[in-house]
Amino acid sequence: MNGASTDNDSVLLQADKLSKSFGDVEVLHDISLTLHAGEVRAILGENGAGKSTLVKILAGFEQPSNGQLLYQDWNGHTSSIKGWQAEEAEANGVVLIHQELNLADQLTVSENIFLGQELRRGLFLDKRLMDRKSAEYLDALRCKVDPHARVGDLSVSAKQLIEIARTRAKRARILIMDEPTAVLTRQESDVLYELIARLSAEGVAIVFISHKLEEIERIADSITILRDGRLVGNYAAEGLSREDMVSLMVGREIGDLFPAKRLPVSQAPSVLEVKDLQVRGTETSCSFSLQQGEILGFSGLVGSGRSALLETVVGLRTPTGNPPGTVAVFGQPVRIRNLEQARELGLAYLTKDRKGSGLLLEKGLAFNFSLFALEKFSHGVIDRKKEQDAFYKAVSNFDIRIKDTKLAAGSLSGGNQQKLLLAKVLEAEPRIIVIDEPTRGIDIGTKSQIYHFIAALAASGHSVVVISSDIVEIIGLCHRVAVMFHGRLTGIVEGEDINEEEIMAYATGLKDQQLSATDKLTATGAQ
């Protein structure tokens, strides 16, 4: 994609040896990049590589500890500064759309689009003009949302589109987006790509963070790759294959990360049979089974309904439909109504929302550790000694690295939090464990450790379901992979078919096995 604008060579923004430390921890080191008008630049890197911090510095939401920014103002003059404030950046046309959406749920679409830059006629708001313009902006995104609708009532993808529409109300010359398509459907993403092409042709520079290699290949002119807070390099997109991107991003062979797969024996009993289970809010029903000793992956795009399906299985959500489908655990048909019942049946669920639903951040480590399996430590009153002993054992078993056991859970690093969460759930001694996004936001070393924990669980006769948006993780870890698209289970792949192309074909709805009978699933898998 080439911006056809005449001033394509003009440099709009340049980062010169930016570094950023939070306390003693350096999260960015010596990052340089140059943004030309009309350029579409992807920023690629693993979780924790520093991508979000980098774009926040560019847009003035964080200040660099070292290095400088060079920017061109509207008059064409170039100035050098040591970081800037968001207001200043915006005044110079640098606009960032955050990963966490910043919309006021109680306000209407049009009120949100013009929030902080309301159009006035005299003393009063010019609502009609704002509504009309909002409709215009949304139209360009082919988003059929009423400007009068309350934002809180809309879907996440509509909200993302409103965030994008909002930047149109600003004079943006550099548009920075942090994973803009993570919550969009394929069609919505396509529309966004078109908009990006149009903006680029108008001379707007686009910077976007993405994990979708296919997307980067499709729309980026240039790619900045980060690893562990350092710049791996700035590359022209042309001539860089996906494999190149991955190996530059990871910096080592992926094979190292994962333990060797040990497939369960084919006669291993089925421990979980889900048949025609209908998730609330979807019209389709899902069936799958899980063998003892197996690691079953659930892949699919964000919002494809994986968490909702598994949360329904473990009783965190009530299924819909009449009959609502069946779940059998260890051969016994059951209707799981809540997580406590699931736990008694030997079933546990590890949430992907570590901070929001997994751990009590302001509570102590032992408090968090014992919360799920608390009854185990209680004979009327809680046996503190027994609880402490179990906690210390878990700290060493799961290699939770802490200086002080009296710390609050929130002060641990993401990786240690994830290990603590794992320890908490496994303390209840479940036989079947559902892990939603096991390694989101944690460093590569801990990732590898967690993969080994999961593999060890399976090897010792536990059965594991891994839901993950990280396709590398799914491929490296899982024995079979169920793929979902728009709330339906489009296919289950195994063996040689566990590869990115095949999984993506099911994840995007290109392929669909149309399977409904559980026996068919277990018999042959992908065809």
Q: Which residues bind other proteins (CB under 8 A)?
A: 316, 338-340, 342-343, 349, 351, 353, 356-363, 367, 370-372, 374-375, 378, 380-382, 424, 428
- Min CB(342)–other proteins separation in Å: 7
Say if residues 275 and 325 touch (Cβ distance below 8 Å).
yes
Residue 87 or 340 with smaller CB distance to other proteins: 340
Residue 8 or 341 with smaller CB distance to other proteins: 341
CA distances from 416 to 50, 371, 403, 419, 421 (A): 19, 17, 12, 5, 9
- Min CB(382)–other proteins separation in Å: 6
- Min CB(441)–other proteins separation in Å: 17
Residue 330: CB atoms within 10 Å: 16
Q: What is the DSSP string of 14-26?
A: EEEEEEEEETTEE
Nearest to 493 by CA among 355, 259, 297, 318: 297
Residue 287 or 368 with smaller CB distance to other proteins: 368
Residue 110 or 418 with smaller CB distance to other proteins: 418
For residue 213, which amino acid is it?
L
Say if residues 135 and 143 touch (Cβ distance below 8 Å).
no
In whole angstroms, what is the distance from residue 401 CA to residue 418 CA?
A: 11
- Min CB(270)–other proteins separation in Å: 24
Residue 227 or 354 with smaller CB distance to other proteins: 354
Say if residues 527 and 517 touch (Cβ distance below 8 Å).
no
In whole angstroms, what is the distance from residue 341 CA to residue 334 CA?
A: 10
Residue 91 or 339 with smaller CB distance to other proteins: 339
HSE of 183 in the Cβ direction (CA atoms, 13 Å)? 18
Beta bridge partner(s), residue 15: 33, 69
- Min CB(372)–other proteins separation in Å: 5
- Min CB(409)–other proteins separation in Å: 10
In whole angstroms, what is the distance from residue 128 CA to residue 114 CA?
A: 12
Residue 318 or 338 with smaller CB distance to other proteins: 338
Nearest to 215 by CA among 249, 242, 175: 242
- Min CB(90)–other proteins separation in Å: 32
Residue 210 or 368 with smaller CB distance to other proteins: 368
In whole angstroms, what is the distance from residue 472 CA to residue 456 CA?
A: 19
- Min CB(425)–other proteins separation in Å: 9
Residue 73 or 340 with smaller CB distance to other proteins: 340
Residue 441: CB atoms within 10 Å: 15
For residue 44, which amino acid is it?
L
- Min CB(212)–other proteins separation in Å: 29
Peptide bond preceding 323 in cis form (omega within 30 of 0): yes
